[in-house]
Structure 1
């Protein structure tokens, strides 16, 4: 367990450096190569309303919180009876399982899927001047290896009841879709060009429904993957029982 904790600490530290370093890099690029036009200014004024931004900040926040958790675990490694308070472990689990994992996988899938088909639907050319290629990959690609490392390095049990995680994810989506629609009402624009093309047609409803469904699909996919790597809940309990007998 301590070995996995050390590896997680390494991953969290590297990801925090990567995320924060990317923020400074993007700021530096925009200061040294200022691009002034209506589209760029509009994007900058709405940057915090993009779902990718929400997911990026969510990953940064989770990495910092999880790093703190594992530092305490390593610090108390000699104490065999030590464990983090259940409210902290529960919070860590619900944030990762219910938000970080599904949001990350959906951002990666939808962004690169649409980008490959027609980048103008999700990432118009003018954004290249604001978000350099390296930053684009940090924001939309590197977020996946980070969550995959979490799944591989942190054994988890499939919850007996998914209601809490699913409810949190549903609330998160409702809030975001409200922001998306509010932006259209307030500014008369859609944050993502694809919605501008689909709005007013039946395909708009289908697109929203499909995106929402994708979140829940990815949420449930994480458990078979986790069980495949770490074993089912019963196997985990058997391993713990064997270890306890050896200690006795």
Structure 2
């Protein structure tokens, strides 16, 4: 189990590195060139920001596998393990699942709102799956294979709420300063529609955080002895 877990961590990390290093760029003179390189570059896309987060997290997992710890006993946990657990439970799982869920739901409704068909000419499908499918797959694999320490109460929800409003402020600033919306779906909505849509997106994030904790408890148990939890990890 331990070797398999280490291989999963390293494999997912390596796939993310390959995806992030791939030199994707729209053809010169295309309708996407100016928007792609406009304010913020790739850092204006939640998909890219999430891929950086996921890559950094699985890189941290690899480092923790080598020099850190993997114990349910808080007093014996390394700083790396505590950081791994905090990142996964508060940001990595909810953001990864959210990105995959929202993308593929909008894609199924009308792909032109989120990923126009014309992108297929220069954005390969394998890279699309790294950016939009792997986040959820990797998050669920991690939840199933590793026992994590969850924050208590609202402390668990604060990081994703802060991250949500920071990104919301970022894309609204881009719309104001550069006069374009990062995602085509906002172009077809009026002010009221955008406001309601953006506000409504916070709820799935909170639900995913809650769901992640419940799924984790179902897999690893609630109120079990620390030795039992440690035994399951091994």
TM-score of the pair, normalised by structure 1: 0.82
Q: 1:10 — aligned with what?
A: 7
Contact 1:40-1:126 at 8 Å conserved across structures: no
Q: Is the 8 A contact 1:173 1:212 kept in 2?
A: yes
Runs of 4+ in 1 over 4 A off after TM superposition: none
Deviations 1:82-129 (A, max 9, x none): 9443x4333221211111101011111110001111011111233223
Report the equivalent of 2:36.
43
Please name the residue that 2:18 is paired with: 21
Q: CA deviation at 1:235?
A: 1.7
Structure 2: give runs of 5+ residues left out of the alignment.
none
Q: If you compute each CA radius of gyration, which structure gives the higher value, 1 or 2?
A: 1
Give, in whole Å, the separation in 2 of the partners of 1:51 and 1:16. 19
The aligned runs of 1:80-119 (5 Å cut-off) are: 83-85=76-78, 87-119=79-111
Query: Scaled by the length of structure 2, what TM-score is found?
Result: 0.86
Name the SS of the counterpart of 1:37 in structure 2.
Answer: coil
Displacement after TM superposition at 1:73 (Å)? 4.5
Answer whether contact 1:115 1:121 (CA < 8 A) is retained. yes
Q: 1:225, CA displacement in angstroms?
A: 0.7
Distance, in Å, in 1 between the alignment partners of 2:132 and 2:180 is 23
Using the TM superposition, give the Cα deviation of residue 158 of structure 1 relative to its aligned residue in structure 2, in angstroms: 4.5
1:153 maps to 145
Equivalent residue pairs, number = 226
Residue of structure 2 in register with 1:246 after alignment: none
CA RMSD of aligned residues (A): 2.5
Give how far 1:162 is off: 3.0
When you count helix as a share of all residues, which structure comes out higher?
Answer: 1
Q: What SS does structure 2 have at the residue aligned with 1:191? A: coil
1:63 equivalent in alignment to 2:55 = no
Alignment of 1:95-244 (within 5 A): 95-159=87-151, 161-201=152-192, 203-232=193-222, 234-237=223-226, 239=228
Deviation at residue 21 of structure 1 after TM alignment: 1.8
